[in-house]
């Protein structure tokens, strides 16, 4: 009896993992895949973002929420927007575990996020998204807002700081 209970639980867990995996693969085909930043890069991005207490800071395509958590630890009102539901719930668990009440993660397509009022926007996107993101952020961000991009460049904006693969743009 005990054996069957364990076997059924194991089967349910394996099925859940499989469903999550399928969701991640399908969602990845629609945009930037989930490739999390290493912790050293997370720290570098947060430092270059120059977060001040209370800043609205947004990670567009927030993956497992590691950057959202780091920005919140630095005093930001941190927001993450992520398309993959499994990653959204994983991020929320991470924020809860760390007791970060000044952070939230929503399941939302990043193109529909209104970034008005954000002082910091971070992204680790995909080359084909950079043109559209530049136009979106140009419209929504106020002068002085900082955009920190890992890996990929905007077509027209000039970075004010380049450190390895990280570029900082000041709107």
Where does this chain bind ligand SAM (CB under 6 A)? 27, 31-32, 34-37, 59, 61-63, 66-67, 81-84, 87, 109-111, 124
Burial, 18: exposed, middle or buried (Cβ in 10 Å; 0-12, 13-18, 19+)? exposed
Dump strand ranges (E) for 40-165. Answer: 56-60, 77-82, 103-107, 120-123, 146-150, 161-163
Nearer to ligand SAM, 65 or 119 (CB): 65
Burial, 50: exposed, middle or buried (Cβ in 10 Å; 0-12, 13-18, 19+)? middle
Nearer to ligand SAM, 1 or 29 (CB): 29
Nearer to ligand SAM, 16 or 25 (CB): 25
* Distance in Å, CB of 2 to ligand SAM, minimum: 39
Q: Round to whole Å and give the CA distance between 143 and 54.
A: 18
* Distance in Å, CB of 83 to ligand SAM, minimum: 4
In sequence order, which residues have a C-beta less than 8 Å from that of residue 48 and are 6 or more positions away? 146, 148, 161, 163, 166, 168
Nearer to ligand SAM, 8 or 43 (CB): 43
Nearer to ligand SAM, 6 or 109 (CB): 109
* Distance in Å, CB of 115 to ligand SAM, minimum: 13
Q: Which residues pair with 58 in a beta bridge?
A: 79, 121
* Distance in Å, CB of 121 to ligand SAM, minimum: 11
Closest-approach residue to ligand SAM (CB): 61
* Distance in Å, CB of 155 to ligand SAM, minimum: 19
């Amino acid at each position: 009896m005990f054996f069957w209970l364990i076997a059924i639980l194991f089967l349910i867990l394996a099925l859940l993992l499989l469903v999550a995996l399928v969701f991640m693969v399908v969602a990845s085909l629609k945009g930037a895949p989930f490739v999390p930043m290493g912790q050293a890069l997370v720290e570098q991005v947060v430092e270059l973002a120059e977060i001040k207490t209370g800043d609205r800071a947004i990670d567009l395509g927030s993956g497992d929420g590691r950057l959202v958590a780091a920005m919140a630890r630095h005093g930001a009102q941190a927001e993450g927007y992520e398309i993959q539901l499994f990653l959204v719930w994983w991020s929320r668990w991470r924020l809860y575990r760390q007791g970060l009440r000044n952070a939230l993660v929503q399941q939302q397509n990043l193109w529909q996020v209104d970034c008005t009022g954000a002082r910091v926007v971070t992204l680790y996107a995909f080359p084909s998204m950079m043109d559209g993101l530049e136009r979106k952020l140009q419209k929504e961000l106020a002068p002085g807002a900082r955009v920190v991009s890992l890996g990929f460049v905007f077509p027209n904006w000039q970075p004010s700081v380049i450190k390895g693969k990280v570029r900082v743009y000041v709107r």
